[in-house]
Structure 1
Amino acid sequence: MLPASASPFFYWLALALRGQVTFMSTATIHQYAPKTAGKAPEVPIRHMDFKFDAKDLDTTFFKDTEFATAYFQALSIFLTFGEELVIDTARYHRQFLKDPVLKQRVTALIGQEAIHSKMHDEFNDTLAEHRYPVALYRFLADNVFEYGFKKLPNRMQLSLMAGIEHFTAVLAEYMMKNEAVFYETGDEKQRALWMWHMLEESEHKDIAYDVYETLSGNYPLRVSGFALAAFTIMFLVPLGGAAIPVYRKPTKLLSLRFWKDVKTSLVFLAGPKEGVYGSTVKHILDYMRRDFHPNDHDTTAYLEYYKEKLLNPKTGLLSPYLVKEFVPKLRA
């Protein structure tokens, strides 16, 4: 038994995994009013078709760096499994919700994540044609999720879902604030993929959290789910990304140019001023506040800007790839 004198965080995590944290049944709704109650914007489901072509792939997509770009390529591979966990968890817990608007929004979340998974799978197939370890990473991720995360109690999976969605919301907001990053490459389809994903992650950033708070609200368990999400996104994915350049060409380890690229990439990813995660640490850790809500970080203006820029029927970046768009029906 872990002593209570140990780090409170790990103590909570151990209890949560053992099912010893006091936690209401997922069928029992406690008193929680989402900050979006009565004014929640509709979340559409967009069917996309990017028709990826391996010959167009830019392997230095992110700021003309191979090492930093490899992080996002690894993220693309692993996130398809994260999307599936979110889909399964959201679908299971939807039945316990009483609010028809929240249920409708959960259906939209499921739809968006399903298309994300499909499009990234197609993109990952093009990575495989460039000697990326796609098959290996799919095998590893499948085992981590199938025999690890998906074996957790439903309440823990719900917490993990909320934690994952927090990280994707942080990443989406970073991308929204750094639009120029997308235009440092000629790879139009990869640009469109990430900008579309960025838009939709921000559109639905509060849904998983509202479901968690509605059906649980248990703070220690929420922190535990955040920890598992952080372990995946801040450790497993970077580890996979770091191995990609060497896997593709082992002799890079002997190249001074490669190590310069690594140094530059680490600044782009972890630098405190403009790094993807280094500059967003406060936002990431804000999740630890007891009264946290995703909409405390208002991205409304960014969403309006990017919807016009990306979805304008005549000039939108996504227009050539958008097949159809619809909002799920509101059901009692």
Structure 2
Amino acid sequence: MSNKHVPLKARKVSFAWEDTPLHWVPGDPFTTHTINVLHLLLPAGERWFVHVYQQVLPYIRDERLREDVIGFIGQEAMHSRAHDEVLPHLRDQGLDPTLADGRAGFRDFHRRGRQGLLPSTGAITRSIPGYLSRAYHPSRECSTEQAVAYLATSPAAVAASAAVKPQEGAA
């Protein structure tokens, strides 16, 4: 993996949800809705990261670290907004995007994990100690450079970029 420093810069992303079907994982409503739950859970954590890092920002003296923290704050703020944007679409589809009244059980998660649609219960269980280790660093997963390169060419990024270009020309 490359040790090249890649500055974190928040990308303004927005998605057009109106043409997304209710069950966007074809033939599998359970997996669709399991992944949809991330739109409910992640924004709170991302807003918490923003809050915590804004509190510590005045104490950071290393300029490169400060720039990275500012980029991370912007990235997490944008992520939380992007997740929040799907909630009206879920409501329009007749779903109540809250966590109350769910009927899915562990067996459903286990089955989808065996099918490769969600992380397997074994993989999740085995990964926990590594993430909790004092020696853990995200660079073990991949480099920031790899993540930025993927995000710049992902289907979502390409669609978002195409949607932004006509708006820029109108300004």
Superposition TM-score tier, normalisation by shorter sequence: 0.7 to 0.9
> How far apart, CA to CA, are the structure 2 residues paired with 1:303 and 1:277?
23
Q: Which of 110, 119, 133 is the aligned partner of 1:276?
A: 119
Kindly provide the amino acid, as one letter, of the partner of residue 243 in structure 1. Answer: G
Mark the runs of 5 or more structure 1 residues left unpaired by the alignment. 1-35, 138-239, 246-258, 324-332
Root-mean-square deviation over aligned CA pairs: 3.5
Aligned residues: 162
Q: Which of 81, 87, 90 is the aligned partner of 2:44?
A: 81
Counterpart position of 2:6? 41
After superposing on structure 2, the runs of 4+ consecutive aligned residues of structure 1 that deviate more than 6 Å are none
> How far apart, CA to CA, are the structure 2 residues paired with 1:87 and 1:272?
35
Task: Give the 5 Å matches for 1:92-131.
Answer: 92-131=55-94
Matched position secondary structure for 1:276: coil
> How far apart, CA to CA, are the structure 1 residues paired with 2:129 and 2:146?
22
Matched position secondary structure for 2:11: strand
Deviation at 1:69, TM superposition (A): 1.7
Identity, in percent, stands at 20
> How far apart, CA to CA, are the structure 1 residues paired with 2:100 and 2:31?
8
> How far apart, CA to CA, are the structure 1 residues paired with 2:75 and 2:67?
12
Deviation at 1:128, TM superposition (A): 1.0
Matched position secondary structure for 2:102: helix
Mark the runs of 5 or more structure 2 residues left unpaired by the alignment. 166-171
* 2:15 maps to 1:50: yes
Tell me if structure 2 keeps the 8 A contact 1:67–1:242: no
Deviation at 1:131, TM superposition (A): 2.3
Deviation at 1:299, TM superposition (A): 4.5
> How far apart, CA to CA, are the structure 2 residues paired with 1:277 and 1:299?
24
Change in CA separation of 1:117 and 1:44 when aligned onto 2, cut-off 3 Å: same
Kindly provide the amino acid, as one letter, of the partner of residue 132 in structure 1. Answer: L
* TM-score, length basis structure 1: 0.41
* TM-score, length basis structure 2: 0.73
> How far apart, CA to CA, are the structure 2 residues paired with 1:92 and 1:74?
29
Tell me if structure 2 keeps the 8 A contact 1:62–1:69: yes
